[in-house]
Structure 1
């Protein structure tokens, strides 16, 4: 996978993935994450995650609804987490390959463009 800027990623659309391809390497994932602010590798480098502290519970739910719209439009769906009513997180990986693909970084870049009411 070639490293791309966040702007380049947001202009792309996630492609369907039914498996049969290798996930990106740890080195590829680290290089791509250098272009995305605040995202971290988790689960032994098989997923990426970003966390925010929002103004209140409804701000978190509003952000998740916006995430859901973007995810549905691209056909690539994240795990959404809310803890302690103000701590939200998004976790991405390509389930069909058990690791990271370009789709995860595309969706991460698009999520970064969404408005969010921070604490």
Structure 2
């Protein structure tokens, strides 16, 4: 997979993955993660993660609800963590291949596209 900008990723749709797809190697993942501000590789480059800090608990819930809508629309579901009362952490991986696929970066870019001012 060639490295893509956030705009390119946001213009795509996640493809169903039930396995049989090659996961990204570490080098591909490292090249792609650079394009997504604030995201980092974790768990031996098989997951990506980002953290947010909000003003209050309600903003966290509003954000997570928006993330849930995006995830449902893409049929690709991240691990969502509400920590403390104002911290959100999101982890993404393609479970069926036990690693990263293009879908993970598409979803991350779409999460980054959520208007935080509307929360």
Shorter-chain TM band? over 0.9
String of CA shifts for 1:52-103, please: whole Å, max 9, x gaps.
1111011001000000001100100001001111110111000000000000
TM-score by length of 2: 0.96
- CA-based RMSD of the aligned residues comes to 0.8
Q: Displacement of 1:2 after TM fit?
A: 1.2
Equivalent positions of 1:1-119 (< 5 A) are 1-116=1-116
Does structure 2 conserve the Cα–Cα contact (< 8 Å) formed by 1:71 and 1:78?
A: yes
Structure 1 stretches of 5 or more lacking a match?
A: none
Q: Displacement of 1:50 after TM fit?
A: 0.2
Q: Displacement of 1:115 after TM fit?
A: 2.1
Q: Displacement of 1:43 after TM fit?
A: 0.9
SS at match of 1:24: coil
Structure 2 stretches of 5 or more lacking a match?
A: none
Moved over 2 A (4+): none
Q: Displacement of 1:116 after TM fit?
A: 2.4
